[in-house]
Structure 1
Amino acid sequence: MELLSVNVGVPRPNPWKGLATTGIDKRPVQGPVAVSAPGPKGDGRVGLAGDRVYDVQHHGGADQAVYAYAREDLDRWEGVLGRPLSGGAFGENLTTRGLDVNGALIGERWRIGADVVLEVAVPRVPCGTFQGWLERAGWVKEFTVAAEPGAYLRVVAEGEIRAGDPVEIVHRPDHEVTVALTFRALTREPELLPRLLPAHALPEEARETVRRRTAPDTRAKKTGAGHG
């Protein structure tokens, strides 16, 4: 398992989301890149030096510090889209090889290079910027149906990474909640939501969604709410 490329965003106009700028245009960089924990969402900071997000309401922060996507999945999409996809084409910071990103468990930890440790937090959910960037009508639905979202990671141990670094899985939690399962549950298959409850490493926002949508519906128990 290895890191094929480290990709950092180049600011560009965002005509697809009502924002002035987007950082989705990620491009491979040479040499080491510093990785650090960005803190809470809201100021545009992410985990890689030189990168940032501009939709600060929905992106960035500790639980979305770094985004990883597998080269194997990009290769499959090349066949679907009929065009080459370089590292960073899906807006990912890390393009990996030999690592099952979508099969990774929530809370799983990866060591990259000598020092950096990242923890799988939550799947990526596609948005209008992603669809506009790829210039493909219906892309959000197509990507969602495929359920190959890639993973957002939080930073556990800081350091430097570079293309060619080995990737090692150093911790796997004791549950079966994968990135792909989480994505399916949070998007098209809400009946799967109860299966996410053992994944305590899910961000609190996602866990609250699961709790709210799986709570027993007590409305019918209120006086006068039933039907005779």
Structure 2
Amino acid sequence: MSGMVEAVSRSGRHTFSKGNELWIRLVAGMGVEGDAHMGATVKHRYDARRRPQAPNLRQVHLMHAELHQELRAAGFSVGAGDMGENVTTRGIDLLSLGTGTRLHLGDEAVVEVTGLRTPCVQIDRFQPGLMAAVLGRDAHGRVIRKSGIMSVVVRGGDVRAGDAIRVEPPAGPHVPLAPV
């Protein structure tokens, strides 16, 4: 499975949306250089208050551009970086990846998928009704979280729009993503 990077984004402050950039630099074990969520320990404000020394499993947030298309078709105004993602992808079903999947971004950078992003009330503050639009139910009634996936940086490097993404599944059995 392969795809491409559609856009890259970051914010030095804890803002909901992140500004698009020409490129971002991923730093191994830390995250996106210059982003408020960069660090070896948790930076998500809610989690940091509860467990400040916990490992940062949310160093890089990835979201599929296909979700933006779906949301625009439903009447929302969203684009790359608007929902806080660092890397907007195209052509990869991010939500179907297993825990531990590695994504090779461009020539150098590699991230390892840790889990699903848990949507929070900030999504409705950004645009009313958006929270319900990024949540769904499968045939068994289980919640589907569509607001992207989280990862950690295994190997650093620069990432740009237009870079190829190569998917490397983990060696063991498929472990479905859970919220992190």
TM range (shorter): 0.7 to 0.9
* Aligned positions, number: 161
Counterpart of 1:129 (choices 118, 122, 125) is 122
Q: Which has the higher strand share?
A: 2
Which residue of 1 is the match for residue 84 of structure 2? Answer: 91
- Tell me the distance in 2 between the aligned counterparts of 1:49 and 1:143: 28
Aligned-pair distance for 1:172? 3.0
- Residue 7, structure 1, aligned to residue 9, structure 2: yes
- Tell me the distance in 1 between the aligned counterparts of 2:125 and 2:104: 33
Q: Which runs of 5+ in 2 are unaligned?
A: 38-42, 49-53, 138-143
Using the aligned pairs only, state the percent identity: 22
- Tell me the distance in 2 between the aligned counterparts of 1:68 and 1:141: 20
- Residue 177, structure 1, aligned to residue 168, structure 2: no
Which residue of 1 is the match for residue 47 of structure 2? Answer: 58
- Residue 27, structure 1, aligned to residue 19, structure 2: yes
Letter in 2 for 1:35: L
Question: Relative contact order (C-alpha < 8 Å, sep 6+): which is higher?
Answer: 2
Could you list the runs of 4 or more consecutive aligned residues of structure 1 that deviate by over 4 angstroms after TM superposition?
A: none
Q: Which has the higher helix share?
A: 1
What's the TM-score once normalised by structure 2's chain length?
0.78
Aligned pairs (5 A) from 1:193-204: none
Which residue of 2 is the match for residue 101 of structure 1? Answer: 94
Q: Which runs of 5+ in 1 are unaligned?
A: 12-21, 40-46, 184-205, 207-228
Aligned-pair distance for 1:171? 3.3
Which residue of 1 is the match for residue 40 of structure 2? Answer: none
Which structure: larger Rg? 1
Aligned pairs (5 A) from 1:203-222: none
- Tell me the distance in 2 between the aligned counterparts of 1:2 and 1:48: 18
Do the aligned residues in 2 keep the contact of 1:78 with 1:84 (CA within 8 Å)?
yes
C-alpha RMSD of the superposition: 2.3
- Tell me the distance in 2 between the aligned counterparts of 1:38 and 1:92: 18
